[in-house]
């Protein structure tokens, strides 16, 4: 998001200060791998914070009508099987979206 989703390329401000998208994007699915477990992400409020910034501001805020964020928690220090399971989940979410 920081490198691509920038002012002038992805969005612009109108004379009335409203923000609009410059990309023809109908929907967006953001997948975010995370080291913390899902339980810790929720306990620390990180899931809600990520949603507020990435979905409400970066995606919906510039006119993308449908946007979703999925945090894939539990990657730090886990076995390859956990990573494989999260990759499978990510693939399924992408296909279903």
User: Would you call 20 helix, strand, or coil by DSSP?
Assistant: strand
pLDDT tens digits, one per residue of 41-63: 999 999 999 999 999 988 888 78
C-alpha to C-alpha distances, 71 to 7, 54, 63, nearest whole angstrom: 25, 11, 22
pLDDT tens digits, one per residue of 4-51: 778 888 888 889 988 878 888 899 999 999 999 999 999 999 999 999
The model carries a pTM of: 0.77
């Amino acid at each position: 998001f920081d490198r691509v989703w920038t002012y002038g390329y992805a969005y612009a401000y109108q004379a009335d200060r409203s923000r609009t998208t410059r990309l023809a994007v109908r929907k967006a699915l953001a997948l975010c791998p995370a080291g913390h477990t899902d339980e810790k992400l929720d306990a620390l409020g990180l899931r809600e914070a990520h949603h507020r910034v990435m979905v409400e501001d970066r995606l919906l805020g510039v006119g993308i009508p449908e946007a979703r964020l999925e945090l894939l928690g539990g990657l730090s220090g886990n076995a390859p099987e956990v990573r494989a399971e999260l990759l499978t989940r990510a693939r399924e979410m992408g296909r279903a979206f």
